[in-house]
Amino acid sequence: MRTIIEAQGLTKVYKGGILAVDNVSFTVNEGEIFGFLGPNGAGKSTTIALLTTLLSPTKGTATINGIDITKHAYQARLELGFVSQDLAVEDALTGYDNLRLQAGFYHLTRTEVHDRIAEVLKMVDLTGRAKDKVETYSGGMRKRLDIACGLIHRPRILFLDEPTLGLDIQTRREIWKYVNTLREKNKMTIFLTTHYMDEADSLCDRIAIIDRGVIKTLDTPSALKEAIKNEVPNPTLDDVFLHYTGKEMREDFTSKEESFKARNNIRRARG
């Protein structure tokens, strides 16, 4: 098995002194679906931001397909696609135009742009809806388009931060089906976070559980369950999660700014 991501002592201290990621080391194998699970505020999104070079580490580094992210951020970025937990597609544009905007970030010829767009539309099964405005899409279609935007430069590794958050169960299944196809057909490596334990259990080859910036355990879903069998009979991945992260409740909103934004969204929705 070939290592495609290697994190070495990754550490991120935000301004104000919050230690979000604390000396994290792990490897991801080429072609695997790697799940990164943890409670709210555990450091999942920050780890993804570091690995995708959107943030620089305070200490430590990582390699993406052998490329050091601190020394060669631009080259590393060409190897990876990133789909944020927030939808990035423009409602007022068509699916095709959203993809064309995204393709504009890479030095591609017109023909290449056209071919790449056709290729990614096919990957997420949106070819027939490409000329329609995104505002006419369902939640699942929007997310699929968002994923397609992350694929336009043909990355080897796809980072998906909470790709199914807020979607209904049917749509979640549909998204996971596409994720699985990307791995099977396109031999991509997938690094994902999710709050849905049963879905992580059935989808991921290996899972890391992170809490307060520290990786608590990392193994295959079955080995993770096996390891706590003496404590819980017939454990599920939920049990594994609780075992490593404790039973106390976590704040839903990890920062004042986020809770402020959420309150405002609620007010707008009511108003």
Ligand X SMILES: Nc1ncnc2c1ncn2[C@@H]1O[C@H](COP(=O)(O)OP(=O)(O)O)[C@@H](O)[C@H]1O
**Smallest gap, in angstroms, from Cβ of residue 136 to ligand X?**
31
**DSSP class of residue 128?**
G
SS3 category, 256: helix
**Smallest gap, in angstroms, from Cβ of residue 103 to ligand X?**
28
**Smallest gap, in angstroms, from Cβ of residue 40 to Mg ion?**
8
Q: Which of 18, 54, 113, 228 binds ligand X (CB under 6 A)?
A: 18
Draw the binding track, 36-55, toward Mg ion (x: CB under 5 A; -: no contact). Answer: --------xx----------
Which of the residues 20 through 39 are near ligand X (CB under 6 A)?
20, 38
Angle, in degrees to the nearest 10, between helices 95-103 and 139-149: 20
CA distance 112 to 118: 10
CA distance 96 to 143: 14
- Between 7 and 121, CB nearer to Mg ion: 7
57 binds ligand X (CB under 6 A): no
CA distance 226 to 235: 8
CA distance 215 to 267: 37
**CB atoms inside a 10 Å sphere around CB 171:** 18
- Between 18 and 78, CB nearer to ligand X: 18
Which of the residues 104 through 163 are near ligand X (CB under 6 A)?
none
42 binds ligand X (CB under 6 A): yes
**CB atoms inside a 10 Å sphere around CB 233:** 7
Q: Which residues bind ligand X (CB under 6 A)?
A: 14, 16, 18, 20, 38, 40-46, 254-255
Q: Which residues bind Mg ion (CB under 5 A)?
A: 44-45
